[in-house]
Amino acid sequence: MKKLFYIDYPQEHIEGQLHRYRCVHCKEETTVINGRLEGHLPNCEYRIKLENAGYESEATESHTSVTPHDADDFD
Ligand SMILES: [Zn+2]
């Protein structure tokens, strides 16, 4: 299971920083997170919750290795 963007996490305003927000849980800036699950810290409550729910981060997406196929036919 995978979402395109992970932007439904609770955010809070960074004090003294206009137009800058961060994750309530791991305190990573929204510009750092950039809609990615792995943008949150590994111990982020939101990230852990989604990972436990079966959501994947980009990093673990491509497990499948493509086997090179020799298309040449013996005739
Ligand atoms: Zn977070």
Q: Look at residue 1 and tell me if it is in a domain.
A: yes
Res. 22: pLDDT tops 90: yes
Q: Look at residue 64 and tell me if it is in a domain.
A: no
HSE-CB at 74 with a 13 A cutoff on CA atoms is 0
Q: Look at residue 73 and tell me if it is in a domain.
A: no
Categorize the per-residue pLDDT at 38 as very low, low, confident or very high, splitting at 50, 70 and 90. very high
- Please tell me the pTM assigned to this model: 0.69
Q: Look at residue 54 and tell me if it is in a domain.
A: yes
Q: Look at residue 25 and tell me if it is in a domain.
A: yes
Q: Look at residue 71 and tell me if it is in a domain.
A: no
Q: Which two tokens stand for residue 50?
A: 């989604």
Res. 32: pLDDT tops 80: yes
Categorize the per-residue pLDDT at 63 as very low, low, confident or very high, splitting at 50, 70 and 90. very low
Q: Look at residue 52 and tell me if it is in a domain.
A: yes
Q: Report how far ligand 1's centroid is from the alpha carbon of 23 (Å).
A: 5
Q: Report how far ligand 1's centroid is from the alpha carbon of 58 (Å).
A: 15
Q: Report how far ligand 1's centroid is from the alpha carbon of 59 (Å).
A: 16
Q: Report how far ligand 1's centroid is from the alpha carbon of 32 (Å).
A: 10
Q: Which domain holds residue 10?
A: 1-58
Q: Look at residue 5 and tell me if it is in a domain.
A: yes
**In which residue are the tokens 């950039």 written?**
34
Domains: count for the chain: 1
Question: How many CB atoms neighbour CB 42 within 10 A?
Answer: 10
| Long-range CB pairs of 47-54, under 8 A, 24+ apart, other chains included | 50/6, 53/1, 54/1
Q: Which amino acid is at 19?
A: H
Q: Report how far ligand 1's centroid is from the alpha carbon of 39 (Å).
A: 8
Average pLDDT over residues 54-69: 59
